[in-house]
Structure 1
Amino acid sequence: MDLKTRLQTYLTAIARERDPYMATAGHFFVQEYIRQQFAQWGSVEIHTFEAGGKTCQNLILNLPAEAKRQKRNLPPILIGAHYDGVPGTVAADDNATGVAVLLELASKFAAQPAKYPLRLVAFDMEEYGLLGSADYAALLREQQQPLRLMLSLEMLGYKDSTPGSQSYPPPLEKFYPNTGDFIALIGNLRTIPDLFSMSRSIRQAGISSQWLPVPNRGLIVRQTRLSDHAPFWDAGYPAIMVTDTAFMRNPHYHKPSDAIATLDLDFLAGVCAGLEIAIRRL
């Protein structure tokens, strides 16, 4: 199977109603699907946390660094994507695309390790206020666990090549293109060298990419905090959100129409291939 077909297979399994309260069967199905996929590559750690009287789960897969670097005790790169969805939608872009790429990266880096150890995390309860990532970031902070970088994969599959299809919080529209055909990387100031190199790697894979460094944990432009990287910013970690910019481009955001048919799978496959190259070069 080629990359696009593999991603489509993942999407078909994940894109279903999976709100943790309103669609418990779908939510459980997707949780189990991720667990089974991860389990092919190593033992799956489950990080449980309580939210709204419910026990929730982040699913974690640790992958070692390449053999010659294993003794160095390098800090891991954490790659996360949330698997919950809002009620009333199969949430294909938000965030079946992020989870599909997470699973594909797991299989790629299990077969051929990166320079750094990787920790792949499927976060729960993002749509209820980043609860899964907040709980996990707090735990890592408490354990004094260093991270080389945290990457949040947040909506990766919607592209619109029509001029005027991309909007921004002001004043960013003065500096960035108004066509929604790129993938955006948004990081705190510590990640500027990574933003630059990752963007370049993604462009080399044939996908247009824009990057934005934000000061002060993104508090000035609140829209930059709308994913699982934000709790890692707050905990002082270097973190980047990889995104198609959600509602600033995708008209189906949080609607029943957020379906696989609205996605651009060639774009998604390009983003996935570009991310693999970018992570290998870190």
Structure 2
Amino acid sequence: MADAAPILPFVQRLAVPDPATRRGALLAILRELGVPVLRYCDEIAGRTPENIVVRLGQGAPRLVLAAHYDSAPGSSGANDNAAGVAILLSLLREYRQHPPALPCDIVFFDLEEAGGWGSRAYVERFATEHILAMLNLDVCGFGDTILLGPRHSCEEWPLQAAVDTAVQRGAGRVRVVRHLPLGDDASFAAVGIPSLSVTIAPEADVEPLLEAVPLMRQLRPAARMPAVAETIHNGPRDSVDVVEEAAMQAVRACVRGMVAVLSQAYSG
């Protein structure tokens, strides 16, 4: 059962520079959805991220669907990453009544921009649980081509079947790429949990983005910066006005489809 309700109103409520205001808006939306919320403030390396978790279903294995809700200092965080958060809220609007067969944690991470501390704290807390896989939504509001990566995760169990289905249904608008900018998926990969990131960008951005990623990791300038870079981190188009309903709906459909495949295959 798909939920065609608009996603953009969530972004409009979440896209504010002040961290406390953004967190308050997220918690208010979750209260309106009527779902039980868990808040974890675990200290890690002198930092105390506040992760917000909604648990659907009991038992294991569990699937983690995640998006960071913090933003770069001063940024509205509209595309990075209110759009990703809003897509998860849209899925939660459906899943609260029709949950996946596979138990899920829907997680909103704090302090991703500061170094992924929220996801690191989550992994430390839940490392003993059987986490089947993690899907990370990051920069999901601008463009027409969905990118899934890193490639090695997409081509391995248990994610391969779900990714293959997404690519087949995407009719050329879903691509598996060798790497994406580092995100919260890296915290899971570091402890051996299969994980991938989901992002979306204009088709013309794909090659410049792939060229830029290794240079960005070395703190070196790229010869060609993708246009999507202007929509994040206080760039000239870092605004809620750039976030596209169609882009978010496309990502939502892609993620929803992958969850369905994983649920069918691994829900016992």
Q: Smaller-chain TM-score range?
A: 0.7 to 0.9
Q: 2:198 maps to what in 1? A: 242
Q: Which one of the candidate residues 114, 133, 140 is aligned to 2:119? A: 133
Alignment correspondent of 1:265: 245
Tell me the alpha carbon deviations over residues 179-221 of structure 1, each in whole angstroms, 9 at most, x when there is no partner: xx411111474542524533533652667111136xxxxxxxx
Cα distance change on mapping 1:62 and 1:188 into 2, 3 Å: farther
8 Å CA contact 1:207–1:270 kept in 2: the answer is no
Aligned pairs for 1:17-28 within 5 A: 17=17, 26-28=18-20
Quick one: distance in 2 between partners of 1:112 and 1:202? 25
Matches within 5 A, 1:51-66: 55-64=48-57
Q: State the one-letter code of the partner of 1:85.
A: S
Q: What is the identity, as a one-letter code, of the residue corresponding to 1:116? A: L
1:20 maps to: none
Aligned residues: 234
**For 1:105 and 1:205, how far apart are their aligned partners in 2?**
19
On the 8 A contact 2:167/2:175 being kept in 1, the answer is: no
Measured in 1, the distance between the counterparts of 2:104 and 2:27 equals 17
Is the 1:182–1:208 Cα contact (8 Å) retained in structure 2? yes
- Counterparts of 1:4 and 1:276 in 2: how far apart (Å)? 12
The correspondence for 1:98, drawn from 65, 80, 84, is: 84
Of 75, 78, 99, 1:89 maps to: 75
Aligned to 1:251: 229
Q: Which runs of 5+ in 2 are unaligned?
A: 210-225, 263-268
RMSD value over aligned CA atoms?
Answer: 2.6
Instruction: Measure how far apart 1:277 and its partner are.
Output: 2.1
3-state secondary structure, aligned to 2:229 = coil
Paired with 1:99 and 1:30, the residues of 2 have a C-alpha distance of: 11
Q: Check whether the contact 1:202–1:278 (CA below 8 A) recurs between aligned residues.
A: no
1:135/1:278 Cα in 2 relative to 1: closer, same or farther (>3 Å)? same
Instruction: Indicate the residue corresponding to 1:151 in structure 2.
Output: 135
Change (3 A) 1:145 1:225: farther
Give the deviation of 1:53 after TM superposition: 6.3
Counterpart secondary structure, 2:177: strand
Pairing 1:1-282 to 2, within 5 Å after superposition: 6-17=6-17, 26-39=18-31, 40-50=33-43, 55-64=48-57, 73-141=59-127, 144-159=128-143, 181-187=144-150, 189=152, 191-192=154-155, 193=157, 194-201=159-166, 204=169, 208-212=173-177, 224=180, 226-244=182-200, 248=209, 249=226, 250-252=228-230, 253-256=232-235, 257-282=237-262
Identity score, percent:
24
**SS where residue 273 of structure 1 aligns?**
helix
Q: Structure 1 or 2: larger strand share?
A: 1
**CA deviation vs aligned residue, 1:77-129 (integer Å, no higher than 9, x gap):** 10110011112221211001110011111111111111201101110000000
2:188 maps to amino acid: F
1:45-79 Cα shifts (integer Å, max 9, x gaps): 11103368664310000011xxxxx6xx4311101
AA partner of residue 124 (structure 1)? D
Letter in 1 for 2:148: L
